[in-house]
Structure 1
Amino acid sequence: MSENSLRVLGTASHVARLLGDDGVVHSLYGPEGSPVYHFLTRYDEADAEAMLGVAQGRKGTLLELACGSGRLTFPFLENGFDAVGLDMSPHMLALFDERLAEEKEDGNDYSGRVSTVQGDMTSFRLDRTFDFITLGANAVSYLDEKQRASLFASVREHLAEDGRFLMTLIEFPGIEERDQPFETQAVVATGADADIPMLLTLLDFVDPDESLRSSNFLAQRVEDGRITDAKIFTALSHILPAARLRAEIEAAGLRVLAQHEVVSEFQIQASFAINPEIYLLEVTV
């Protein structure tokens, strides 16, 4: 969806025009958006807990696709895995390195057991296989059908015999029966002593007709108690039914072993017209 990555829908589009459009809208995974995404997701452990539950104490090697700042990688490292994190964004990988340094200061030196690769999750070649490959945070929804087919083909090439590909997705049950868009709004504030004190307003818009979700964060920077800057960090994704993804995975020569429900206490439930459900697909060759 790269050509539409900065397309903003719903209330956020009106806010962007109000703020003047030019220079207001940025990618959630770019140089300025990455710290916001890291702040919002670092302590959401639902994906990792579900995936480690499937691992059931096994040790081995992990490849985290779209690893960001390592939200899934670090729990696997803590459980004895060796890991590789792959992400297209150099800004997210820089945050990964910062977190590695923080862990080392806290007495957890993972430097000999983990490495990062800047690359595209839809087409990568690492010349090795992994016991576990993970893709969290509904990242598959940012890909179109052709990109998803390429992703699943690359996963198949890199998954060890009896290995597991673990992928989370968000589904909106009954969305096909709706013909009107719906939106949720929520406010999250950083602490006053945060590195970047901000008031963050989530403007999350879902369009059933286009099967698109526009996730936007209005970030208002605060200095000395006053708002000094405002930007919108955005990400546009597809609404993908689990059944469709399972069919695409099977078509790529992989097998779906199970579909697990994931319960996240961190998930914002504010006022969605349809409560989203999170699933973990457990896949093997």
Structure 2
Amino acid sequence: MRNTGTGPGPITPDGSPVEFYSRLRAGDEPGIVAQVTPPGGSVLELGSGVGRVTHPLLDLGFDVVAVDESPEMLARVRGTRTVAARVQELRLGERFDTVMLASQLVNTPEDTARHALLAACARHVKRGGAVLIQWMPAEAHDRWHVGMGRQDGDVTITMAAVEEVSPGLFHATMRYTYGSDGGEQVWTQSFSSRRLTDGELALALEAEGLRLDRFLTEDRTWVVAVPA
């Protein structure tokens, strides 16, 4: 299944609607980054998008480099260095206190793509630094169903379709809306996701010279890995 998106405004190669993501607010991510990054430390944000998390991190005093493959996304990022590149191919020749890989990118269906993402993390993290990964734990995948979602003010996110097309491989479509009272805008984003167990994630990290250190959140969606 090819990642696709629909709706007003530009759509990135992975199906992300830029206008919708510009309307989202940061959640707990800045505080999560602060748990593993020294004050004023350096953060490499892989897949930064429009800067939803970048800007709060800058407000907290971190030195952030924002990386995304979409120029339309990066055009919304302000106040810091941006790099237009595919994460898998990134080679900055620099190392950071924290490398952040969010948005469940590690759950990509292809093993080769997963290893390329983690290899990019490994070659940019300092010795003694942290790789912060947002993933979809196996038990969370098992709870996916049509209609699940959340609302945050005028923003609504709903799972419009989901199917396990082969063991551990899910195809899903999210429906995003912004606004109300007949003036709402609507987008969709379709994608594939691989169910990973803790052991499979640990092995993928190990293959790239990283070690699963600990889970940072009660729901286990944020993982800290360190250079082995």
Fold match by TM threshold 0.5 = yes
Query: Retained in 2: the 8 A contact 1:256–1:284?
Result: yes
Deviation, structure 1 residue 162: 0.9
Compared CA separation, residues 69 and 278, structure 1 to 2 (3 A): farther
Q: Distance in 2 between matches of 1:199 and 1:152?
A: 31
1:281 alignment counterpart:
223
Relative to the length of structure 2, the TM-score reads 0.79
Compared CA separation, residues 76 and 143, structure 1 to 2 (3 A): farther
For 2:90, the aligned partner's letter is F
For 1:151, the aligned partner's letter is L
2:22 alignment counterpart:
38
2:102 alignment counterpart:
136
Query: Retained in 2: the 8 A contact 1:141–1:239?
Result: yes
Deviation, structure 1 residue 199: 7.4
Equivalences, count: 225
User: Among 151, 160, 174, which residue is 1:203 paired with?
Assistant: 160
Relative to the length of structure 1, the TM-score reads 0.65
Compared CA separation, residues 254 and 216, structure 1 to 2 (3 A): same
For 1:232, the aligned partner's letter is T
CA-based RMSD: 3.5
Give yes or no for the alignment of 1:49 onto 2:13. Answer: no
User: Any residues of structure 2 matched to 1:163-174 within 5 Å, and which?
Assistant: 163-173=129-139
Query: Retained in 2: the 8 A contact 1:6–1:27?
Result: no
1:184 alignment counterpart:
147
Aligned-residue sequence identity (percent) comes to 22
1:202-249 Cα shifts (integer Å, max 9, x gaps): 425252735214132155887x9467x865333332222233111110
Compared CA separation, residues 247 and 220, structure 1 to 2 (3 A): same
The unaligned stretches of length 5 or more in structure 1 are: 8-22, 101-110, 192-197, 263-276
Query: Retained in 2: the 8 A contact 1:121–1:151?
Result: yes
Larger Rg: 1
Compared CA separation, residues 182 and 119, structure 1 to 2 (3 A): same
The unaligned stretches of length 5 or more in structure 2 are: none
Q: Distance in 1 between matches of 2:132 and 2:114?
A: 15
Compared CA separation, residues 143 and 94, structure 1 to 2 (3 A): farther
Q: As a proportion of its length, which structure holds more helix? A: 1
Compared CA separation, residues 148 and 174, structure 1 to 2 (3 A): closer
